[in-house]
Each structure stands twice: as C-alpha cells, then as structure tokens.
Amino acid sequence: MPVHKHTHCELQYIMRGKGQHIINDCSYNYEKGDLFILVPQDTHFFVFQEKCAICFIKFHEGFFQDLLLDADFKQVFFRLSSPNRKMALAGNSRQQVIQLMDLIIAEQRKESSHQNIIIKNALALVLSLIAKKWIQNMVKPKDEKIQAILNYIDQHITEKHLLSTQNIADIFHISKAYFNQYFSKATGSSYKKYVQEYALKLIAHQLIHRDKTLSQLADEFGYTDESHLSNAFKAHFHQTPTAFKKEHQQH
C-alpha cells in the first residue's frame, strides 16, 4: 500500500498477519489483534511480512454528533490527537477491544434495522477504552495523588478556569502555598510551565494533523485570541505556527 493521507479519522484493526506500519515517519511492528488510530493529515503505509487482513473503519466527528454532546465523550474524542498511533492495549482491555471489533465486523457483514446503532456504540466503546488506557499509561509516578492531578490536567486541558492553582489545590486538598513546591518536586517542572507546555504540544499536533485554524485552536484552548496563542507558540517552539505547520507537513 503506497504512502497516502486521509481527510478523515481511521481505525485500523489487524485481523491477521504481521508486518510494519509506518505512520508519520514512525515505524510500528504489528500482529493480529493490534489496533491503530489515524487522524486527518496523518501519512502512512504498510510493509507486509506475510498475508494480512486488516479492518479499516473510516469516520468523521459528525458520525458521533449526538454522543459529542456528552462532555466525557468529547474528551474521549479529543484523545485521538495523542501522538501515539498504535494503541498499547494488554490483558482485559485488549480482549474487550477485540470482542468489540469482532462485533463491529459481524454487524457490518449483515443487514439489520439496528446495524448503525450497534456499530456506532461499539466503536464509541472502543475509543473510550483506548482513551482510558492512554491516560493510565501517560505517566506512572510513585505518588498516586500526582498521578490523579496529571490525569485531571489531561482531562481538562481545554478548560483553563478549572486549572487555576487555587482550584486544583482545593480539589486535591493541598494548600495553595505548598502546591507549586509539591508539583515541582513530583514532576520536575513548575505547575504553570507543565500546563502551558502540555497544551502547546497538543496544539502543535492538532495544527499538523487536524484541519483546524489557529483561531479555532486559540478558542478551544482558552487563549485570548489568535495573536496571544501565536506568541506563546513561537516562544516555546521558536517558530511561528504557520512555519511550524509548513515544515512538519512536508515530512
């Protein structure tokens, strides 16, 4: 399969075989049961080591229009922009996803009045399990409280009012005066710097791989305006968003 890109999201489930999957210049080995998620503007191709069977499920945000009204599922869909394209599933999570994918494939092969409902909800469950596992694997600090704080930041990164030092210190029962010291000791980064850099990394990834304007991203991530985001982006990446996008989409 030659190098190509899509304008839609695509879930790829390895039903049989093994080989390498090259996505955005990163190489992933794959075998039966593996799962990949691609977002718009990702480039990819397969190198087959043996005969393979792969299930491709293409979808846009509009497919989940009703489910996206739920704030929790909206966060699940947002997780698709994670730079990780191969889903690191194991144990029960892997078995659950395999069962759901088998259900989707079986439903697609037959005509039924409830086909679309079953496929949509099964796919939503697959994406939810992927998002759950992604959050669990994001960091593994010894301190369970800092893990909970990092998960909270990840879940609410587009809601700046929920990430104020006062609010997060109150939620996790830490004094505001001690919170910054505690966070820096646990992560090696100041709280403000961590949140800002994490948001900018997500913005950079969406700028390249999602069809969103800088104005849309500024609004989504709580920046005052496009100019404010552009200045913050340039200070961190030493490039304007336009130059950054142009350079990375050429690779």
Residues 112 and 174 in one domain: no
Per-residue confidence (pLDDT) for residue 191, from 0 to 100: 92
Residues 91 and 211 in one domain: no
Q: Where a domain ends, among 109, 138, 167?
A: 138
Per-residue confidence (pLDDT) for residue 229, from 0 to 100: 93
Structure tokens given for 231: 């200045």
> What is the number of structural domains in the chain?
2
Per-residue confidence (pLDDT) for residue 143, from 0 to 100: 66
For residue 99, give the nearest of 129, 71, 139 by alpha carbon.
129
Residues 9 and 131 in one domain: yes
Kindly report the CATH number assigned to the domain that includes residue 48. Answer: 2.60.120.280
Which backbone phi and psi does 223 adopt, to 5 degrees?
A: -80, 150
Per DSSP, the three-state class of 18 is coil
For residue 159, give the nearest of 227, 111, 223 by alpha carbon.
223
Residues 104 and 190 in one domain: no
Q: Where a domain ends, among 138, 163, 178?
A: 138
Residues 8 and 94 in one domain: yes
Q: Where a domain ends, among 112, 138, 164?
A: 138
Structure tokens given for 4: 């190509």
Kindly report the CATH number assigned to the domain that includes residue 225. Answer: 1.10.10.60
Residues 65 and 11 in one domain: yes
Residues 169 and 212 in one domain: yes
Per-residue confidence (pLDDT) for residue 173, from 0 to 100: 92
* Residues spanned by the domain of 109: 4-138
Cα–Cα distances in angstroms (integers) from residue 93 to residues 34, 35, 90, 96, in the given order: 12, 12, 6, 5
Backbone torsion region of residue 201, taken as left when φ is above 0, otherwise alpha when ψ lies between -120 and 50, otherwise beta: alpha
Per-residue confidence (pLDDT) for residue 1, from 0 to 100: 59
> pLDDT digit of tens for each residue in the chain (251 aa)?
566 666 788 899 999 998 888 887 777 889 998 989 888 777 888 888 889 999 999 988 788 888 877 777 777 777 676 667 888 777 788 889 889 999 999 998 887 778 888 999 999 999 888 877 766 665 454 567 888 898 899 889 988 889 999 999 999 999 998 999 999 888 888 899 889 988 988 888 888 777 788 999 999 998 989 999 999 999 888 889 988 888 766 54
